[in-house]
Amino acid sequence: MTTQSSNIYPVDSQTSQQFYINGGWSSPATPASLPVVNPATESVVAEVASGSAEDVDRAVAAARAAFPCWSATSAEARAGFLGKIYDLILERKEPLAQALSLEMGAAIGFARAMQVPLAAEHVRIARDLLSTYRYQKVEGGTAIEREPIGVCGLITPWNWPLYQITAKVAPAIAAGCTVVLKPSELSPLSALLFAQLVHDAGLPPGVFNLVNGTGSEVGGAMAAHPDIDMISITGSNRAGALVAQAAAPTVKRVTQELGGKSPNVLLPDADFAKVVPLGVMTAFRNVGQSCSAPTRMIVPRDRLAEVEALAAATANAIVVGDPQSEETVLGPIANEAQFKRVQAMIESGLSEGAKLVCGGPGRVPGHETGFYARPTVFSEVDSSMRIAQEEIFGPVLCIIAYETLDEAVAIANDTVYGLSAHVQSSNLDRARAVASRIRAGQVLLNHPAWNPMAPFGGYKRSGNGREFGVYGFEEYLETKAIVGFGG
């Protein structure tokens, strides 16, 4: 195995054609590669190695061999490694941001201000938890012990590449687990930089391993692998279901953070001039490519015209363009397949009779090359429409009117998803009462600041398990009861 120099940015061609296994860079068992396309130019900017079941076997063997020693290390030692990783993410913020902009079209300002710093926060939280978490509690004469579950297979998506990697890797290794990571083949460059960063932090060989490749080949092999004790996947419902099916024969733990169709309920007493623009920008953050995006704005019918005007003014003012420009707010959709999906869903909204307030199908004028979608707002949307039921994953907002509070709550819950929700009201007690009636794993009142300790995960088809903070950390632990411990 060869070790790549830590000061090569962006990812060079040698590293991109290798995996990180057992503490070093290693070539795939069978040479194969996948293109990485810059969505702003539609050009291939890199080729990355594409793995196979044999590569997964090597990575799992390394993780399994490393588990006994790593799981026995002290919390203080694990916190030390996480602290080094945290510092290196901040130190290398610029190359990481540039990789994110290149591989998935994130506006460079957004990558610098959100994608990278929030990813670093997951590492900091995991590090800090280790100083306070109690692995043993004695209740009566019984000791309840929490122990690392073992080898974890981590499958991450293309829309928040680095953020989702740290949301899984940091708590897993903090808990004492060893990991095999499969990042999305559509945005793998930031993952390769992260692997080098982990190496430079001095993490022992085998604790962290990375194998690039497709979901069907590498993800499927990981899900079915008998020596992987747990799978954590963030992705589509289809991918989550396939992973769960492949994992079932080995009865491993499977946690899933899947799709969403999040509501944003505006109560009549909300400050509409404030919350409507905030709601639009929150829905369109990351070009609408967030599973928690509040893309259904549920508003009083007698305020519909006002909401339409505010939403249109906000959406029309958004600067869409070259992700390398400091002025750009929204870059392109991250890949061609998703761009086509967004266009098809906009056409569906038109064909089903929704009112087009602004935007619409087609590319942004002046950007005939690149997967640039027009920020689009529909009104007079009915809950039975596809655009109100299906996750679009693009800058498309649906405005749905209600007559009564009970109807607003019913509309909010009228979906197979239950990941996130928003409620806006000038009266916090009213907002709390509505939040308690919404079937979602996380409800945000009046656009609060992001809280990395708040558990994140879904009801219904939005998944199983939780990420972030203590709840995300505990997903990587087993529970052991020692009865008679107190004599």
Any idea what the Cα angle at residue 232 is, between residues 227 and 238, rounded to 5°?
A: 110
Q: What is the pLDDT of residues 213-252, one digit of tens each?
A: 999 999 999 999 999 999 999 999 999 999 999 999 999 9
Q: Is it the case that residue 5 has pLDDT exceeding 60?
A: no
The dihedral built from the CA positions of residue 422, 426, 428 and 433, taken in this order, carries a sign that is negative
Cα separation, 33 vs 228, in Å, equals 25
pLDDT reported for residue 9: 44
Angle in degrees, 0-180, between the axes of helices 189-200 and 161-175, rounded to the nearest 10: 30
* Arithmetic mean of pLDDT over the chain: 96
Q: CB burial class (10 A; 0-12, 13-18, 19+) of residue 216?
A: exposed
In the chain, the percentage of residues whose pLDDT exceeds 70 is 98
Cis omega before residue 323 (within 30°)? Answer: no
Query: Using 50, 70 and 90 to split pLDDT, how confident is the model at 487?
Result: confident
Q: Is it the case that residue 274 has pLDDT exceeding 60?
A: yes
pLDDT reported for residue 14: 73
Q: What is the pLDDT of residues 125-164, one digit of tens each?
A: 999 999 999 999 999 999 999 999 999 999 999 999 999 9
Distances (CA, A) of 311 to 244, 297, 327, 354, 409: 39, 10, 21, 15, 22
pLDDT reported for residue 15: 76
Q: Taking the model in full, what pTM does it have?
A: 0.96
Report, as residue numbers or ranges, the catalytic residues: 257, 291
Chain centre to alpha carbon of residue 373: 21
Q: What is the pLDDT of residues 345-389, one digit of tens each?
A: 999 999 999 999 999 999 999 999 999 999 999 999 999 999 999
**Domain definitions of the chain by residue range:** 13-258+464-481, 263-451
Q: What is the pLDDT of residues 30-88, one digit of tens each?
A: 999 999 999 999 999 999 999 999 999 999 999 999 999 999 999 999 999 999 999 99
Cα separation, 244 vs 4, in Å, equals 35
pLDDT reported for residue 10: 56
Spatial contact of 323 and 107, defined as CB atoms under 8 Å apart: yes
Query: Using 50, 70 and 90 to split pLDDT, how confident is the model at 4?
Result: very low
Cα separation, 378 vs 360, in Å, equals 9
Distances (CA, A) of 477 to 150, 454, 470, 480: 8, 18, 11, 10
Q: Which of 337, 312, 255, 323 lies closest to 287 in space, CA to CA? A: 323
The CATH number of domain 263-451 is 3.90.1170.50: no
DSSP per-residue codes, 351-400: HTT-EEEE--SSBPTT--SS-PBPPEEEES--TTSHHHHS---SSEEEEE
The fold of 13-258+464-481 is: Aldehyde Dehydrogenase; Chain A, domain 1 (3.40.605)
Q: Which long-range contacts (CB under 8 A, 24 or more apart) does 6-11 make?
A: 6/196, 6/197, 6/199, 6/200, 9/92, 9/95, 9/98, 9/193, 10/95, 10/98, 10/99, 10/102, 10/189, 10/193, 11/46, 11/99, 11/189, 11/192, 11/193
Query: Using 50, 70 and 90 to split pLDDT, how confident is the model at 12?
Result: confident
* Average of per-residue pLDDT across 261-268: 98
Please give the single-letter amino acid code of residue 62.
A
